[in-house]
Structure 1
Amino acid sequence: MPEISSLVRRAALTHNDNHFNYEKTHNFKVHTFRGPHWCEYCANFMWGLIAQGVRCSDCGLNVHKQCSKHVPNDCQPDLKRIKKVYCCDLTTLVKAHNTQRPMVVDICIREIEARGLKSEGLYRVSGFTEHIEDVKMAFDRDGEKADISANVYPDINIITGALKLYFRDLPIPVITYDTYSKFIDAAKISNADERLEAVHEVLMLLPPAHYETLRYLMIHLKKVTMNEKDNFMNAENLGIVFGPTLMRPPEDSTLTTLHDMRYQKLIVQILIENEDVLF
């Protein structure tokens, strides 16, 4: 019953647009507190002069080291602590901004769909690296107020480059390290229907923020393929571009990466061609 579970998942994700129940673990680091401090989990005093406990660097929760093992996955990141947009964990970013997806993804896709869908070689042609870095800095500095309009960046390839860079810079890829090998195994199945079923099952294992980001991106890439006669970008071409951008093997091995490239391409191609069924 893949369609039903997918519908349930989608209903759960879009249930309430203002509050997204994406679970997030705390990012605890050993901390030295100045002056007396109490644990916010057990309410007992933190003893010692240095390294008395741990603090979550995303939300600021202070607890005993032993208490940190029992704290629920209810971290609500504080925007004041999240210094940048790029290179920030995906779930952390969406929880800090209280959005369904990273706003970089929304803003870039909106801009690309407004003026770039017919652009030849969309996503394959590279924009100037320094201009792409400018866009990255604008998002890090100004967040959703970043101006990426045609007045500032007339070349749409700068915007596509900035979007691809965002995905490449994620500490955990959109297709997570945990699901990577399962997706590769699914791609190796020769029967097309069984392969699609296997891909769908692995999709369900993605964290909600990753699933939602991937879903939104695939709907967009499907629109790109619908303009293939102008942009010359079909699902296979986009798979070549986005395979290594969206999924990386857990161990940093050049050999594994080279060996898996055709399966990475195939996974993205399948996701684009079947986005209406899979998501």
Structure 2
Amino acid sequence: KSSCVSLFIPQKSFSSIQVKQTTNKVTPDLQLQKGGSAFGVPLETLMQDEPQCRVPFLVTQMVEYLEVFGLEHVGVFRINGSTQKIKELKQKYNQGGDVDLVNDGDVDSVASLLKLFLKELPVAVFPDHLCAGFLKTFQEHEVNTIECLKNLRQLLSCLPKAHHNLLQFLVAFLLKVSTYSAVNFMTLENLAIVFGPAFFK
């Protein structure tokens, strides 16, 4: 099934902010400036406020933080973060204030916050009306990879643009996380188990 993941790999990075792992720092520009709630808001609404971005800015911020500090973290996304830190960071995002993940967060809390953002989307990354089609494709074409890919491409083309962009961005990141599985123990299978409930409802 890993071959199906290639559908989501972007041709180029969607990130508008470059983070160099050698510096071990997240650039100061990763401060959320806009106001209004960020959690529990439809993706399309968030993207109306950020027309220059392909994915919500807070997702970019959390992913780039995790790319710097979390790729070699054992159990990243599997181990729950601090409830208090998650609550405080979520509140800052919803209030539109500056969010300093480097000083106020940690890997497990930021990873948990990213999953929480996905779970609280009013419409999941994979909307309900498309879920049956995806499940049917995997069930009927589990062995026939070519037919599986063909059907998946067709289904993915039906995703709302904001959902498709977010899925593509996150899958590319999760593939990167899995390349460190010898250290973090998060294989593609483990990541699928963790993110399945966040992508589907």
TM class, shorter-chain normalised? 0.7 to 0.9
Rounded to whole Å, the distance in 2 between the matches of 1:215 and 1:240 is 18
Give the structure 2 partner of residue 238 of structure 1: 191
Counterpart Cα distance in 1 of 2:75 and 2:150: 31
Give per-residue Cα distances to partners, 1:61-108, cap 9 Å, x unaligned.
xxxxxxxxxxxxxxxxxxx9x730000000110112222111111000
**Separation in structure 2 between the aligned mates of residue 125 and residue 196 of structure 1, nearest angstrom:** 32
Structure 1 partner of 2:131? 180
Partner Cα distance (2:150, 2:119) in 1: 27
Aligned to 1:47: none
User: Given that residues 127 and 157 in structure 1 are in contact (C-alpha distance below 8 angstroms), is that contact kept between their aligned partners in structure 2?
Assistant: yes
Q: Match of 1:221? A: 174
Q: Which residue of 2 aligns with 1:32?
A: none
Deviation at 1:224, TM superposition (A): 0.2
Aligned partner of residue 97 in structure 1, secondary structure:
coil
Local SS of the residue matching 2:38: coil
Report how many residues are paired: 171
**Per-residue CA distance 1:148-183 (angstroms, 9 max, x = gap):** 11x222x30000000000000000011112211111
CA distance in structure 2 between the aligned counterparts of 1:224 and 1:83, rounded to whole angstroms: 31
Deviation above 4 Å: which 4+ runs of structure 1? none
Higher RCO, Cα 8 Å, sep 6+: 2
Q: 1:195: how far off? A: 1.7
Larger Rg: 1
**Structure 1 stretches lacking a partner, 5+ long:** 1-5, 18-79, 249-279
Structure 1: distance between partners of 2:59 and 2:150: 27
Q: How does 1:77-156 map to 2 (within 5 A)?
A: 83-98=36-51, 99-142=53-96, 145-149=98-102, 151-153=103-105, 155-156=106-107
Alpha-carbon contact 1:138-1:147 (below 8 Å) kept = no
Q: TM-score, normalised by structure 1?
A: 0.58
CA distance in 2, matches of 1:125, 1:179: 30
Q: Identity, % of aligned pairs?
A: 29
**What secondary structure, in the 3-state scheme, does the structure 1 residue paired with 2:177 have?**
helix
Aligned-partner Cα distance in 1 for 2:146–2:84: 44
C-alpha deviation, 1:193, in angstroms: 2.3
- Provide the C-alpha distance between the structure 2 equivalents of 1:156 and 1:231, rounded to a whole number of angstroms: 12
- How far is the alpha carbon of 1:138 from its aligned partner? 1.1
CA–CA distance in structure 2, aligned partners of residues 156 and 181 of structure 1: 34
Higher helix share: 2
Distance 2:89 2:155 in 1: 33
